[in-house]
Amino acid sequence: MRILAHLAEDTSQEFVPVKKIAEQESVPTEYAYKIIRKLNKAGITRSQVGVHGGVALNKNLRAITLHNVIEIIQGPVCISECVLNPGICPRNPECKFFPRWSAIQKELVGILSSTTMADILEGE
């Protein structure tokens, strides 16, 4: 998230060097490269090599939801594995927690899906 925020706020050049982002955001450089590769693959960012190379946003911040970013970086948003894969738990369907986990999961995904990077950066 901080990498995307940095790209949105750093208007000094079109492509921002990944090392600069990593240093200023206190993110290990190799981890920053790993995140950028995932964001590039998903079309959120784009990279350019060379002297004036680096990374830039490829999508409008209003089109990037927190849910998108989390799923790109970490995989499915999941409060409990049983919510995404109900058959995994032998206690389901009798489980007393499952209905609550499902409701929380739905609410969480809803909030993350309706919150954009622009919302965060604009303080909404």
Helix (H, G, I), strand (E, B) or coil at 17: coil
* pLDDT tens digits for range 81-107: 888 888 888 887 788 888 899 999 999
Helix (H, G, I), strand (E, B) or coil at 123: coil
- DSSP letter at 62 equals G
* pLDDT tens digits for range 13-34: 789 999 999 999 999 999 999 9
* pLDDT tens digits for range 29-77: 999 999 999 999 999 999 999 888 899 999 999 999 999 999 999 999 9
Round to whole Å and give the CA distance between 52 and 111. 38
Please give the pLDDT value at position 89.
84
pTM of the model: 0.85
Q: Which residues contact 75 (CB under 8 A, 6 or more apart)?
A: none
